[in-house]
Chains A and B, each alone.
Chain A
């Protein structure tokens, strides 16, 4: 997507907490830029510092060093009154929803408006408008305990959007939801971005969330950004071990154990060769495999595989085994490589 103007610029943000054994660095010199209308994912394992990073952005923690530029204002330098004004433009959605149990959906969504001193009838209009946006128009008079987790999260999103919000920060906001509801909520975010030009930061440990909606990914480990890039690049060409290990669980591109145990590195007579074919963006639409089978008269045995979609990109892998003959192997490898599919020989085995 086309990059627009930067909305939020973070420059060398650092934060440490005093521990009994001395200061512990939670965030280490983190810099990133949020462009207007983009969705940025921040992924990392528990304890990587991603929540602390988000808490610095919305002012719940004060960073030790660095700058957070929102427009032309540095959030770290503002006095309390100006900071409060800025925070109203930055909405936050929490993992635990944080709804008032004693108030109806309407009152929960209206809370930021009431606190900002906005009166009826505009209050009413605004609440109904955002409730409609998140699909909760028929639940305005319900109480949070009568709603499902997904609906609660919608209320929280509506509340975050009630005031003219420019940035939405989401802290592990799908962790408590089942996969289907997660998808619903993620699609809602995509719709909101389209309708409102909202800029969204997603902090998560779930690659699915990243894959589904973010344009850009930052991988955090031990308080530092270890890898960053466009989502599709990170998903298909991850370089850093932390990213790779996060991806492994998500892509499920490993062989099952019982096959892995049979694999050996050197080839013997009558062995099958096991190949991993990796499809990257835009290559997955061609009928490569059937062409291969027809042209080379190859009996292919499919062992495993997976295709993923991220935005309009498709990528994935296929693990196949076939009779080992060095000549055919070279020709199919060349054929596939010419068509943008990389081939990796995982090993040899006797079935």
Chain B
């Protein structure tokens, strides 16, 4: 039982960590683009913004389990198989990118316009305004957002069993539910609880570190 638990925990960790990494990189890039071309942004491009924003919203409104299925052809193209932990990472990464993109854009938008104008009046390029002025100001709330998103991803990863991705959620369904092994269920729930708590605490610490001191 311990072997199974540890193996599943590692699968969950792998799926979440991999998709989070892809999500942070891709989501930050997409979110920054959305912010730049948005109505209040540095280079407004209303049409492109509407198209992208609509895309992000509609992809987010698809229930995750459906997204997994919809993405099967794409997943097969990308990792060669539609089954397994690696395959489960693909839809999870896409969800992470979309969630983090929206969070990045929203957080950037809360930065006072005066700071952007200060940057422009200093004669700074748009790239530097985003990297050196907006990003440091937005970092702390952004970490808070990414913490919640990580927890959401842990939840999503429970559905990885659908494509044979394994993980704690899958274990709980197969052993705890389908085989009536209550002990499995209880232990897994506690492990997940601990995992989520740990993520939350680490997230809060990081956010506080970047807040003011």
A residues near B, CB below 8 A?
Answer: 58-60, 83-88, 90, 92, 94, 96, 98, 100-103, 111-112, 114-115, 143, 145, 163
Contact = CB atoms under 8 A, between A and B. Distances in A.
A98 B119 CA distance: 10
B132 interface: yes
Contacts of A86: 123
Contacts of B120: 59-60, 87
Interface stretch (B17-25, B91-99, B100-108, B205-213): B205-213
Given A94-B118, A96-B114, A115-B128, A84 B140 contact: no
Contacts of A114: 132
Given A58-B121, A83-B123, A114-B132, A100 B137 contact: yes
B6 interface: no
Interface string B109-128: 00010110111111111001
Contact of A85 (B114, B123, B211, B212): B123
B212 A101 contact: yes
A84 B118 contact: no
A88 B119 CA distance: 10
A67 B123 CA distance: 19
Nearest to B133: A100
B136 interface: yes
Contact of A87 (B123, B139, B213): B123
B174 to A, nearest CB: 46
11 contacts: A58-B121, A84-B123, A87-B122, A87-B123, A88-B122, A96-B112, A96-B114, A100-B137, A103-B136, A115-B132, A143-B212
A88 B122 CA distance: 5
A115 B140 contact: no
Given A59-B120, A112-B122, A102 B132 contact: no
Closest 8 CB pairs of A and B: A87-B123, A84-B123, A98-B118, A98-B114, A92-B121, A58-B121, A88-B123, A143-B212
Given A102-B211, A114-B132, A115-B132, A59 B115 contact: no
B210 A102 contact: yes
B212 A94 contact: no
B117 to A, nearest CB: 6
Given A98-B115, A143-B212, A87 B121 contact: yes
Interface string B136-148: 1101100000000
Nearest to B212: A143
Contacts of B114: 94, 96, 98
Contacts of A103: 136
A60 B115 CA distance: 12
A58 B118 CA distance: 10
Nearest to A143: B212
Nearest to B136: A102
B136 A115 contact: no
Given A94-B114, A98-B114, A115 B212 contact: no
A102 B213 CA distance: 8
B122 A115 contact: yes
Given A92-B118, A94-B118, A114-B132, A101 B125 contact: no
A87 B122 CA distance: 6
Contacts of A94: 114, 117-118
A268 to B, nearest CB: 61
Contacts of B122: 87-88, 111-112, 115, 163
B122 to A, nearest CB: 5
Contacts of A90: 121
Contact of A102 (B117, B125, B128, B212): B212
B112 A98 contact: yes
B32 to A, nearest CB: 18
A185 B189 CA distance: 61
B211 to A, nearest CB: 7
B132 A111 contact: yes
B139 A102 contact: yes
A154 to B, nearest CB: 16
B47 to A, nearest CB: 20
B140 A102 contact: yes
Contacts of A100: 115, 133, 136-137
Given A60-B117, A102-B136, A145 B123 contact: no
Given A85-B123, A88-B122, A112-B122, A98 B212 contact: no
Given A102-B137, A115-B124, 11 more contacts: A59-B121, A87-B121, A94-B114, A94-B118, A98-B114, A101-B212, A102-B139, A102-B140, A111-B132, A114-B132, A143-B213
A101 B117 CA distance: 16
Contacts of A60: 117, 120-121
A85 B123 CA distance: 6
